[in-house]
């Protein structure tokens, strides 16, 4: 399908309500109403660009279809729109 620069993927995640957790990995977790959710994904250190296989996994982890992830990276949806989409799909449960 396509590839995306890591910095663009990171920007889209942070702009849609994900927060980066301070661990030895680059973990991004969706936060809703100041509470962490089970929706999370990982980005590798030192990787400049992600191809189809890794992006497919990121899409699965963020509960998006692969084609939706491409649109998400190109034009990040608002936090509210993303949460609404996940709730409509029954894919969002808070911890």
**Mean pLDDT across the chain:** 90
Domain count, the chain: 1
Nearest to residue 12, comparing CAs of 67, 59, 55, 75?
A: 75
- Is residue 35 a part of any domain in this protein? yes
94 belongs to a structural domain: no
Query: What's the pLDDT score for residue 38?
Result: 93
Q: Looking at the whole model, is its pTM more than 0.85?
A: yes
In a domain, 57, yes or no: yes
Residue at 58 is within a domain: yes
Does residue 1 have a pLDDT over 70? no
Task: Establish if 61 belongs to a structural domain.
Answer: yes
Residue 26 lies in a domain: yes
* Cα(4)–Cα(91) distance, integer angstroms: 24
Could you tell me the residue range of the domain that residue 77 belongs to?
Answer: 4-89
Return the minimum-mean-pLDDT range out of 21-25, 41-45, 57-61. Answer: 21-25
* Contact between residue 9 and residue 73 where contact means Cβ atoms under 8 Å apart: yes
Is 95 inside any structural domain? no
């Amino acid at each position: 399908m396509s590839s995306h620069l890591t910095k663009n993927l990171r920007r889209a995640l942070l702009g849609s309500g994900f927060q980066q957790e301070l661990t030895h990995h680059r973990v991004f977790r969706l936060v809703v109403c100041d509470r962490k959710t089970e929706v999370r994904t990982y980005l590798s250190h030192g990787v400049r660009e992600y191809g189809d296989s890794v992006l497919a996994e990121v899409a699965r982890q963020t509960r998006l279809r692969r084609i939706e992830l491409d649109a998400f990276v190109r034009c990040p949806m608002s936090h509210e729109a993303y949460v609404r989409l996940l709730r409509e799909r029954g894919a969002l449960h808070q911890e």
